[in-house]
Amino acid sequence: MESKLRTFQHGHGIAIMLLVAEIMGLDPLLATDAKRLLDGEAIHPMTGAAMEKEAVRMNDVLRSDPEKIAQANEHAKMLKVQYGFLAA
């Protein structure tokens, strides 16, 4: 029996970005809240806004290095599979 994939929403993308940054050793703020969101817990809207701001900051750190971008994309794909948004 196939398991149903989860619907991927904007906040999930932000959370994935923060966890990618954590995997890459960038020590992002709010990674714990990102994990909570991906685990299906509700977060406060202001926490979501802060997470988005932090994800933009992490993107600014990585975006000028094509090698790091490629690495980040691979980590993101792995996390999407781990959290049920993408088939393995």
Residue 88's pLDDT is 84
Q: What is the 3-state secondary structure (H, E, C) of 57-82?
A: HHHHHHCCCHHHHHHHHHHHHHHHHH
pLDDT tens across the length of the chain (88 residues): 567 999 999 999 999 999 999 999 999 999 999 999 999 999 999 999 999 999 999 999 999 999 999 999 999 999 999 999 999 8
Residue 20's pLDDT is 98
Residue 3's pLDDT is 74
Residue 2's pLDDT is 61
Helix axes 66-82, 45-62, angle to 10 degrees: 140
